Amino acid sequence: DQSKRAETDSDNTSRRGQIVSITHSPSVAAMAERHIVIQTQTVLSAKEDRQQVAVSEVDGADRRKELARMAAGDLAPEEAESFADALLRDGMLRSNGHSGY
């Protein structure tokens, strides 16, 4: 599984330095110590359209909502939120040295 391989690689690398990872995978995002959301929006104007970028760090309830949004796909909102809770629990266990497998 790609996310398990990414976890092993990042665990090994993070012991030696800092890692910045860009992902659309909620399971990878849940393993991070910090979660930064980057959103782009097209701003329409009479002269030209341009891209506006917003960057924000999320934690606590906002992080849970973001992981649920990332995971949503075909899931009902309640299922996505339950999935996000499970990802956060698993990510916390792994960061505390428990394999989770």
- The pLDDT tens digits of the residues spanning 3-50 come to 566 656 666 666 778 888 899 989 889 988 899 999 999 999 888 999
The mean pLDDT value for 68-82 works out to 84
Position 72 confidence tier, pLDDT thresholds 50, 70, 90: confident
Alpha carbons 87 and 99: distance in angstroms, whole number: 13
Q: What is the CA radius of gyration of the chain?
A: 16
Amino acid letter, 15:
R
Q: Which of 44, 11, 43, 30 is nearest to 89 (CA)?
A: 30
Among left, alpha and beta (phi > 0; psi -120 to 50; other), residue 74 is alpha
What ranges do the domains of the chain cover? 2-31+59-95
CB 30 within 8 A of CB 67: yes
Check: pTM over 0.75? Answer yes or no. no
